[in-house]
Amino acid sequence: MDLQSAPPVGGRVLEWTNRWFDRAAPVIAAGAVVLASVGLLENMSDQGIELHAVVSGLIGIVCGVPVLFARRRLWPLFVVAALGWIVFLLWPAMAIASYYVGSTFRRRLELGLYVAATGVASAIAAVVSFAIGGYREYMAYLPNAVIALLVYVGLPLVVGLWVNARRQLLLSLRERAERAEREQAARSDRARTEERGRIAREMHDVVAHRVSLIVLHAGALEVSAKDPQTAETADLIRTTGREALADLRTVLGVLRSQDPIADKTLAPQPVLDDLDRLLEQSRAVGIDVRRTEVGDVRALPVTVERTAYRVIQEALTNVHKHAGAVRASVLLTYRPEQLEVVVENEASTGGATPMPASGFGLVGLAERVHLVGGTLSSEPRADGGFVVRATLPAAVAADQPVGDPA
């Protein structure tokens, strides 16, 4: 798991709590409306209204059920709240209805219509209260009616408006953050593309120019050489240089491509069928390379053969750099589930000219082998030589990349 992308424990708990409360809120609100309504109905003896407990319970349930479905349909809650407010001055359903209006309505016209409807219902309730008299008549007086409207209607409406504004603010901030992340990703991609282009230009201006000069001089030497061996060596240098230019052109194409992995225009990469040509090139510069194959020699997935070829190529390149013209061996062992590649060379004779080395050849090779699910090891031998050993799976898993791991 990516620890940087995983939310903190507190954030997960808060998210779970919010999700649970969001689901349970309608049930809790409906239960509170039922209990409060039943309690108010049971205490209406001072209004001259005596209700049986069963009737009070049924009225309370009727007031609470629309709250459960208020998120889908509000009009049943409005109807029940208006009737309860007019007949019994039941404020719980009215308070819930006012809250939902504030938290869901966005247009001023809708809010105005609700306020007007509430005023009409309150006027009718006042007429009914004066007709009943007693406590209801006392509550119908203007100061008491205004206070009741402010507490039971105005306050829930303001709370709903605040919740709606906060929800809209959080949504706006979330959209702004997501847009900023997308813009940052786009800037990073653009900077990465520009950097690849700059690297490609520098490689073309420096490396390609110098290799081209080597190819030209080798061609001139081949034409003017009187010694056949010299001409043959110059031809090898010229051919190798041209292949290096072709490989460099492929690399530059990858760097300039917007999506190197999906670029279908790249030339086919070498596999084990091209291994003899690689070994011949090493033999031409004085390295005695022997190839041995053990086991059931068969065709393997392209990714595996390509990786095996790159292992051998990098190992022989290190022999060129550090050991010179020595004996080397390439052993390919085909097992039912694995392909083992072993490249060994003798100790340096001391005649090799040191060549520049980046120090990242084996590191990059290990990454390449790891991508296909294999292992790589390299170590010096007791006699001063060196051995590179790679174990590759005979079949690449479905979740492994199918293209060139480079």
How far the first Cα of the chain sits from its last, in Å, is 24
Cα radius of gyration (the chain) = 42
Q: Quick one: which of 282, 367, 353 has its CA closest to 317?
A: 282
Give the residues across from 341 on adjacent strands. Answer: 332, 390
Q: How far apart are CA 240 and CA 231, in angstroms?
A: 14
* DSSP 8-state secondary structure symbol assigned to residue 384: S
Angle at Cα 56 formed by Cα 51 and Cα 62, nearest 5°? Answer: 140
pLDDT tens readout for residues 165-217: 888 888 889 899 889 888 888 888 888 777 777 777 666 666 766 777 787 78
pLDDT tens readout for residues 58-84: 888 888 888 888 788 888 888 888 888
- Asked if 93 contacts 80 with a C-beta cutoff of 8 angstroms, the reply is yes
Q: How far apart are CA 373 and CA 235, in angstroms?
A: 40
Residue 99, pLDDT score: 85
Residue 333, pLDDT score: 93
In whole angstroms, how far apart are CA 119 and each of 42, 112, 122, 145? 27, 11, 5, 11
Residue 344, pLDDT score: 92
Give strand ranges (E) for 25-184: none
Within the chain, which residues score under 50 in pLDDT? 1-6, 260-266, 356, 358, 397-406
Residue 329, pLDDT score: 92
Q: Quick one: which of 310, 194, 187, 299 has its CA closest to 247?
A: 310
What pTM value is reported for the model?
0.45
- Asked if 355 contacts 341 with a C-beta cutoff of 8 angstroms, the reply is no
Q: Starting at the earlier edge strand, list the strands of the sheet with 386-393.
A: 288-295, 327-334, 338-345, 386-393, 375-380
